[in-house]
Amino acid sequence: MNQPLQQPVLVAGGGIGGLAAALACARAGLPVQLFERSAAFEEVGAGIQLGPNVTRLLQGWGLQTGLAEVSAYPENLVIRSADTGAELGRLRLGAQARARYGAPYATVHRADLQALLLQAVKGEAGVALGLGRAITGFEQGADRVILHHANGHQTPGALLVGADGLWSRVRQQLLGDGTPRLTGQQAYRALLPHADLPAALRCQDVVVWLGAGLHVVQYPVRSGDWLNVAALVEDRAQHQNPGDRSGWDHAALGADLQQLLKGAAPPLQALVQAMGGWRLWHLQVRHTVGRASQMAQGRVALLGDAAHPMLPYLAQGAGMAIEDAQALGQALATAGATPAALAQYAQARWQRNARVQKRSLRNAWVFHASGPTRWGRDLAMRALGERLLDVPWLYGGP
Ligand SMILES: Cc1cc2nc3c(=O)[nH]c(=O)nc-3n(C[C@H](O)[C@H](O)[C@H](O)COP(=O)(O)OP(=O)(O)OC[C@H]3O[C@@H](n4cnc5c(N)ncnc54)[C@H](O)[C@@H]3O)c2cc1C
């Protein structure tokens, strides 16, 4: 007798989290249907850092060769004072990260990471990808979930994974906890080929410049051929004039940033001046995950920024989405496409996500400190160096 056809796992959103989820579910042997509202799989033009906790999972999915073709593998993370340019601390990455954590510390263009995941997903027979398919909501029944699309269509599935980002429709319906909260912090970002930069500004390390109320981070992407720079600043005017803060991609004036960095160390000023085409993100967050039921209920789970948006001060938002996907795949492989699998997934993930969210928040305070706190931080960084900068509980996980 023929077995009844297995209902698919439905994935809402085709960002890094959604694609990683689709891959992990397919590798667990389940059919998958992914729906992305955009007409193409797109990522903003910016870099992303991937700790060894993340590259280890990508290796486990057999993506190490593809990753090596597009990544840079910086030798060091160097912390400098934004005011004087003096080195405050250094963490060796390169061979040390590989030896210590069994996987490299990589820096990569977001579009390259997304393309890598997309290629892997397309290599899976059981995955159907729907572009231009905005979802509007869902219904949960005892034995299935039905996804509603903006065009009026409905798709039944065994489970639904909401990987639809910070403004998640799935979250809105599942948790009903309102919109994300503005932080008053903005991220300027720019990318430039190294060849277009003066020789003195070319650099293959991750460098973090710490100033009062701001910090700047730079690192190579695209096999080291391009430099990615992000400047994170506290913007007190933002709450008075909120304007349109939705979406990830706003025009920015490099001159505004140069003004903010007037008086900074000359090499930092030169870097910001040399970069062009600045874009802006308005950073928004939600409360830290407080229990497993905030990540899954019945046949519906949340993943990535839909579940646990975080400030980028630990560079782990996409990393946690990829860890989520791995855990989801594991749970489905053992418990099948069932509510029990989603409960197992949520239980496995919520505390680690909450810890990373909290640490990212704390880092915002540490990175942007002024006065005696800043003085104490710099002293501790000089004295403790790698012991302070390494994060074994994070890089050694999940
Ligand atoms: C300045 C900055 C720097 C960062 N640096 C790092 C870093 O170095 N390392 C790191 O790991 N993380 C970093 N992050 C975090 C990282 O960018 C995010 O955590 C990650 O991109 C989240 O991926 P996601 O797939 O969950 O969500 P998203 O990337 O937001 O994807 C959601 C997808 O869902 C789609 N979608 C939305 N609504 C619908 C709908 N109704 N129907 C269908 N589709 C829908 C969207 O179009 C989108 O494609 C940084 C973030 C910022 C702001």
Tens-digit pLDDT profile for residues 114-152: 999 999 999 999 999 999 999 999 999 999 999 999 999
pLDDT of residue 247: 56
pLDDT of residue 43: 81
Q: What is the pLDDT of residues 150-160, one digit of tens each?
A: 999 999 999 99
Other CB atoms within 10 A of residue 20 CB: 32
Q: Which of 105, 188, 219, 345 is catalytic?
A: 219
pLDDT of residue 240: 44
Beta carbon of 316 within 6 Å of any ligand 1 atom? yes
- DSSP 8-state class, residue 373: H
Ramachandran sector of residue 345 (left: φ over 0; alpha: ψ -120 to 50; beta: rest): alpha
Give the ligand 1 atom nearest the CA of 317: 19
- 159-162: strand order across its sheet: 127-131, 32-36, 9-12, 159-162, 300-302, 296-297
Give the ligand 1 atom nearest the CA of 107: 8
The structure tokens 């496995």 sit at 348
pLDDT of residue 245: 55
Cα–ligand 1 centroid distance for 305 (angstroms): 6
Cis link prior to 398 (omega < 30° from 0)? yes
Beta carbon of 18 within 6 Å of any ligand 1 atom? yes
Cα–ligand 1 centroid distance for 266 (angstroms): 33
pLDDT of residue 248: 54
pTM of the model: 0.96
Say how far apart CA 348 and CA 354 lie, in whole Å: 12
Beta carbon of 34 within 6 Å of any ligand 1 atom? no
| 94 burial level (CB within 10 Å; 0-12, 13-18, 19+) | middle
Is 395 assigned a catalytic role? no
Beta bridge partners of 212: none
Say how far apart CA 196 and CA 276 lie, in whole Å: 11
pLDDT of residue 1: 43
Of 175, 219, 213, 176, which Cα lies nearest the Cα of 194?
219
Beta carbon of 22 within 6 Å of any ligand 1 atom? no
Say how far apart CA 13 and CA 282 lie, in whole Å: 21
Task: Name the stretches of the chain with pLDDT < 70.
Answer: 1-5, 236-253
Cα–ligand 1 centroid distance for 318 (angstroms): 7
pLDDT of residue 166: 96
Beta bridge partners of 230: 189, 217
Structure tokens given for 18:
């959604």
Other CB atoms within 10 A of residue 396 CB: 15
Of 278, 280, 64, 68, which Cα lies nearest the Cα of 186?
280
